[in-house]
Amino acid sequence: MDEALTAWGEVEVAPLRHYVAYRRMVNLASVIFRPKHAAILVYLRVDPDTVELDEGFSRDMRGIGHLGTGDLEVRITSAADLEKAEPLIRRAFEAA
């Protein structure tokens, strides 16, 4: 996960109490580890209206309280999910 979020350039990693923030000028992603659910939740700074939401993989978090920054939640439970999330991570990186 760390490699995927830092692959395209200089990204600052800031471990905080409840999540890990990845930022350039602004936060591009917040990562929360959920071991009980066997998932990693990534909140990306991407407009959910520009993404085709996939049940169980991504969801719109606007108006829902959550830790971290970002309006798009991506749930990573496997290596295939990480590959599927890479274009979204890239968009968040380019926008930051």
pLDDT digits (tens, 9 = 90+) for 10-20: 889 999 999 99
**What's the mean per-residue pLDDT of the chain?**
90
**pTM exceeding the 0.85 threshold for the entire prediction:** yes
CB-count exposure of residue 83 (10 Å: 0-12, 13-18, 19+): exposed
Q: pLDDT tens, 57-66?
A: 999 999 888 8
Res. 83 pLDDT band, cuts 50 70 90: very high
Does the structure show a pLDDT above 80 at 46? yes
Range of the domain at 83: 2-95
Number of folded domains that form the chain: 1
Edge to edge, the sheet with strand 39-44 lists 12-15, 20-23, 27-34, 39-44, 72-76, 58-60
